[in-house]
Homo-oligomer: A and B are copies of this chain.
Amino acid sequence: MSKLSYQFATRVAALQVNPLREQAKNSQTVDHYIKLTYGYPSNEAFPVDKLAKLSDKIYREHAFDFMQYGESEGIPKLRSQIKARLHKYQALNISDNDLLITSGSTQGMDLVFKLFVNEGDTVLTEEQTFVGAVNAIKSYGGYAQGLPFDDAGCIDTEVLRATLAADTSHQIKLLYLIPTFQNPMGTSMTLEKRQAVYDICKQYQVMIYEDDPYGDLLYTDKTAIPKIKSLDDVGIVIYAGSFSKILAPGSRLGYLLAPTAVFDQLILVKQVADSFSNLYWQYLASQLFEDYDFNKHIEHLRQLYRLKLETMINALRAKCQKNMSFSVPEGGYFVSIKLNDDIDGDAFYDEITQRQVGVIPGNIMSAAGKGYEKYFRLNFTLPTLVEIENGISRIGAAAEAAKK
C-alpha cells in the first residue's frame, strides 16, 4: 500500500495525543497499579439496581420513543425536570434561558466554542484548568489564555480586568471557568469574587462559560455558594451541568442552560454535531427523577466521597506533608498538590511511575502546557480506601527519593 501524505486542517495540528491514553492502556496490564489519575466516579456510586428496574419500565412504556430519532434539544420532560431543579435548588433564572441536553459536558464545551470562537480568537481560562476545554478551544483555531490565580487559588480579578481592557480588537470571546471545586485545584470562588468576575465580564460584554460538573458534591456543612449564573441579569452566562460525576459517565448526558438567543444558535450546532443525544439515558434519567428522590442519591454520594477525601487528606498529612503542600477542598473530585522546592519534578515522576501509582502532572492540566512541573492532581473518588492509603504512601516515598 503506497502511502499518501494526508493534509489535515491546520487547527488539528494544535491538538496533541493525550499522553494519558498511553498511560491508561499500560496501567491496565500492571498488577497493583493504583489510579489516582482520572476524574472517574466510584463504581459504588452507580445506582445499578434502581436503574435496572427503571430500564424495564422504559422498555415497557417508551421503547419506540427511545429507539427512534429524537429532538436536538433533548426530550421535553427531562429538560423540564432539570430546569425545575436548577430553579429550585440553585436559584437560576430559567425564564430568559433555555436548556439543551448535550452528549456529556464534553460536547457542551465543543458546541459553545464552535459557536463563539473564530480562528485566531482567544478564550480566557484559569491558568490551571481542564485539559479537555483547552483542547476544544484549540480545535477551533482558538487560543486558550490562562489567567493567574490569586492567593486563594481563584483567578485574579485585576488581571482579568486589565486583560479585557487591553483587548481593544475584541478577540477575547469567552471566559471559561470552573468556579466550584475547580479542576484541578479543588478550590471554589467566593460569592464576592464571582460577583466581581461577573461585573467585569458584563462591563466588557464577554460571555462566561460556567462549567459546574462537581457543584452538587459538597462535603462540608457550609451552605453552597451561589452560581455565577444566578447573578446573570443580562444573559452573558452559559451554565454547564453534567450527569457524569453524579449519575454515570456512560450516560453521556450533560446540559447547557443558555440565554434564549444563544440556545437558538446552539441547536444549529448540535444538529451538525450528532443530531440528538442518546434517548435511552434521557428517558432513564427522567424516570429516575420521577420515581426516586435524587437529593437522597446526592447525599449518598456526599457521604461516600467525604470519607474518601478524609482518608486521602489524613494519609497526605501523615506521609507527604513535609515534602509538599496542598489545601483541603470542600467538595468535588480532586486534591491539588505542590511539591516543595527541594523535590526534583522529573525525578518525582520517574519514582511514582516505578512505584505504579498514577497522577495527573500539572503541565497537562494547564492552559500553557508548561510551568507547572511542581504540581500534580490526585483523584479520590475512584480508588478504594486501601488504594488511597497505599497510593499516598507510595507518593510520599517517591517524593523522599526525589529530594535534591
**A248 close to B (CB within 8 Å):** yes
**A215 close to B (CB within 8 Å):** no
**Complex contacts, A12 vs chain B, CB 8 Å:** 114-115, 265, 268-269
**A70 close to B (CB within 8 Å):** yes
Chain B, Cβ-Cβ closest to A109: B272
**Complex contacts, A69 vs chain B, CB 8 Å:** 38, 40, 244, 249-250
What is the CA–CA distance of A63 and B276 in the complex, to the nearest angstrom? 24
Knowing A110-B274, A278-B251 are in contact, say whether A52-B59 is a contact too (CB < 8 A): yes
**A4 close to B (CB within 8 Å):** yes
**Complex contacts, A8 vs chain B, CB 8 Å:** 115-116, 265
Minimal beta-carbon separation of A249 from chain B (angstroms): 4
**A150 close to B (CB within 8 Å):** no
**A165 close to B (CB within 8 Å):** no
Minimal beta-carbon separation of A68 from chain B (angstroms): 6
A133-146, CB under 8 A of B: which get 1 and which 0?
Answer: 00110011000000
Q: Are B55 and A15 in contact (CB under 8 A)?
A: no
A352-384, CB under 8 A of B: which get 1 and which 0?
Answer: 000000000000000000000000000000000
Chain B, Cβ-Cβ closest to A95: B1
| Assembly stoichiometry (copies) | 2
**A162 close to B (CB within 8 Å):** no
Minimal beta-carbon separation of A294 from chain B (angstroms): 16
**A2 close to B (CB within 8 Å):** yes
**A7 close to B (CB within 8 Å):** yes
What is the CA–CA distance of A104 and B249 in the complex, to the nearest angstrom? 18
Knowing A15-B268, A55-B55 are in contact, say whether A275-B46 is a contact too (CB < 8 A): no
Q: Are B40 and A68 in contact (CB under 8 A)?
A: yes
**A3 close to B (CB within 8 Å):** yes
| A window 43-73: CB within 8 A of B | 43, 46, 48, 51-52, 55-56, 59, 63-70, 72
**Complex contacts, A104 vs chain B, CB 8 Å:** 274-275
Knowing A4-B236, A250-B67 are in contact, say whether A17-B268 is a contact too (CB < 8 A): yes
**A322 close to B (CB within 8 Å):** no
What is the CA–CA distance of A269 and B110 in the complex, to the nearest angstrom? 10
Chain B, Cβ-Cβ closest to A117: B9
Minimal beta-carbon separation of A175 from chain B (angstroms): 14
Knowing A4-B234, A115-B8 are in contact, say whether A269-B15 is a contact too (CB < 8 A): yes
**A261 close to B (CB within 8 Å):** yes
**Complex contacts, A115 vs chain B, CB 8 Å:** 8-9, 12
Minimal beta-carbon separation of A54 from chain B (angstroms): 11
What is the CA–CA distance of A242 and B374 in the complex, to the nearest angstrom? 46
What is the CA–CA distance of A67 and B382 in the complex, to the nearest angstrom? 13
**A6 close to B (CB within 8 Å):** yes
Can you give 25 A-B contacts (C-beta < 8 A)? A1-B96, A1-B233, A1-B234, A4-B234, A9-B118, A9-B121, A12-B114, A12-B269, A15-B272, A18-B268, A18-B271, A38-B69, A41-B68, A48-B63, A51-B67, A55-B59, A67-B251, A69-B244, A107-B274, A135-B268, A139-B269, A250-B278, A250-B279, A252-B276, A278-B278
On A, residues with C-beta under 8 Å from B are: 1-4, 6-12, 15-18, 21, 38, 40-41, 43, 46, 48, 51-52, 55-56, 59, 63-70, 72, 96, 103-104, 106-107, 110, 114-119, 121, 132, 135-136, 139-140, 170, 173, 205, 207, 233-236, 244, 248-252, 259, 261-262, 264-265, 268-269, 271-281
